[in-house]
Amino acid sequence: MPVPRILILGATGGLGRALHRHLVTRYETTAWGRADLDFEQPDTLAAKLAAQPFDVLLNAAGMTSPDVCEVQPERAFLANAVAPQLLAECCHARGARMIQFSTDYVFSGESHDLWNETDETAPINVYGRTKLAGERAVLRASPSALVARVSWLFGPDKPSHPDNIIQRALQTDDLSAVEDKVSVPTSNLDICGWIEQLIIRHPTTSGVLHLCNSGIASWHSWAEAALEIAARLGLPVKTTRVQPIKLASLTQFKAQRPLMTRMSNARLQSLLGGEIRNWHDALEHYLVQKYQPK
């Protein structure tokens, strides 16, 4: 099999940067940010893609803030649904494979079971609705495409919940985090490895696939886990305890958040032929790499 040429969109985001760093040393890889391809100018997308050689397109771009999406729904629909459809049409026309990143927010959050790829979707905010519209548009335009749903990303390229809670704990012991919102924290670095395997070893895998670590967490338990690891690493955190609060108490949010969006990674495990590590192990690996003295 020839070495695939890979085009990554969303190069300035945490996942896009991680994918580029992981893939560029072994494959002909190009990474574009918004300056290279602006989803708010859909008329320009086809011509720019036509001028760029690639065999696989990884779309990690889009509007990802639920609150921004809620107050700017037209822009969100353009970025999360219209543009991905145009990308998929271009990929299908040239015989390239598209991997579209999506989100656990396509689910209602009302179930306490694991969400499977075949479960009914019922997003409760603009972000989830536009991402779901993007999923459907991509798969209609390019049936060979893969939609990769991810949740609660963390990694070295962009501060996330564990980074933020550690930084706060270095300053104060007055910390709180939501205890009734539950999903699966997922390592960007692990996603990079899974994506590489899906590109090289599973070139015909299509449809929807959940890309997440194993286990379950709330924002509260994720925060306390990060602080306990930080303390073991010798960081001078002022506490490892976090006050549990309810999501409903965070009245500053403009968009409603789904409560229970823990996704099953059984299909991913079956494809890759091995256990997917627990989010806690992935978090510890990340924090050790970040804070352990070299």
Question: What are the tokens at 3?
Answer: 């070495």
Residue 288 CA to residue 293 CA, distance in Å, equals 9
Alpha-carbon Rg for the chain in angstroms: 19
Taking residues 256-260, report their average pLDDT: 97
271 exposure class (CB count in 10 Å sphere: 0-12, 13-18, 19+): middle
Is a pLDDT exceeding 80 seen at residue 293? Answer: no
Q: Which amino acid is at 17?
A: R
Q: Which of 27, 105, 127, 286 is catalytic?
A: 127
DSSP code at position 252: T
In sequence order, the β-bridge partners of residue 223 are none
For each of the domains in the chain, give its residue range(s) and CATH number, in order of start: 5-158+186-215+259-276 (3.40.50.720)
- Please state the pTM of the whole predicted model: 0.96
- pLDDT grade, residue 111 (50/70/90)? confident
Per residue in 193-222, pLDDT tens?
999 999 999 999 999 999 999 999 999 999
DSSP code at position 214: B
Per residue in 70-107, pLDDT tens?
999 999 999 999 999 999 999 999 999 999 999 999 99
- The H or E element spanning position 177 is strand 176-178
Say whether 127 is catalytic.
yes
